[in-house]
Homo-oligomer: A and B are copies of this chain.
């Protein structure tokens, strides 16, 4: 390892005293950082530094023999390319940043578990592609047109978070303006700003509706803010209404309560519905958290689940199978989501945009509807 430095010296164009300098530093107690560089490999392999770089990056203008020799030596010396130098020179960090947005909920809440669940699939996907993944949590209100790309920290961003879309919009426009590459999880439609990946919420909503209707339910309530602020919820609602219309049922707006994804707000919404004295025999909640809160309210009001009211959620959180009764819900394609998000972003970075597409969702029937 000592003579690694010799290589450096030999390669160093000017400072011929480097070696001695280094020894001095060493004797003074400062670690000489004998981390090998591509120069060291080059010296040992009897080639130039650029050849080492080319060999290790798989350039085809290096003979197989040379490449093999270089790789062998690199392994021996435990060499690994300096990420910073490489990124600086190539202007490509091979890193993407994952930004979570916390919702503005009453308490100082945690991140939506649904997105945490996506984390696994995203990291795996990044690992497969040799990408590093930076993560960060942001408050919706924060100034997060962050400098991730500005500062060459990351080549692109993945944005995750339910949240008021209209708040989102201006930031997205900024990102586009400054040329930042990003993909967002959300409602997929024509006039989205930037690339979006999302579930087929309409289809999933219809699925939910058909399930409930198939069980003989006729007056289906909906919990979730179904407007332009929360387009995903809106789509789920419209899917539900479509199913009802097809069955000749009325999708009564009076049975809808706006709420965002939070257990306590789901509870409140359901209380409100109960107190309205309107009749309903099923509830489709726009998220499991809402559904869980709603079930609490129903139980508190003495309504049997699913005897009096069938309850459905959305997301299939781990918790959904543990509630009492276990919650019927819609499972989104988490694995597909992670893959598609990363794939889309990489395509964007490489300047060959992918067409947008939605992911399918599956109904998971449990006792909150089946009894």
Contact = CB atoms under 8 A, between A and B. Distances in A.
Interface of A: 31, 33, 35, 78, 80-85, 87-88, 91, 93, 95, 110-111, 113, 116-117, 119-120, 123-124, 127, 132-137, 147, 150-153, 178-179, 292, 318-319, 322-324
Contact of A84 (B93, B117, B136, B323): B93
21 contacts: A31-B179, A80-B150, A83-B93, A83-B151, A83-B152, A84-B85, A84-B87, A84-B93, A85-B88, A88-B88, A95-B134, A110-B120, A111-B119, A111-B120, A123-B135, A123-B136, A127-B137, A134-B134, A134-B135, A319-B322, A322-B322
A91 B95 CA distance: 19
Copies in the complex: 2
A78 B319 contact: no
Nearest to A90: B84
A133 B137 CA distance: 11
Contact of A153 (B35, B120, B132, B178): B132
Contacts of A88: 82, 84-85, 88
A292 B85 CA distance: 49
A117 B110 contact: yes
Nearest to A320: B322
Contacts of A87: 84
B152 A82 contact: yes
Given A82-B88, A84-B84, A120-B137, 14 more contacts: A78-B150, A83-B84, A83-B153, A84-B85, A84-B87, A116-B116, A123-B135, A123-B136, A127-B136, A134-B134, A135-B135, A318-B319, A319-B322, A322-B323
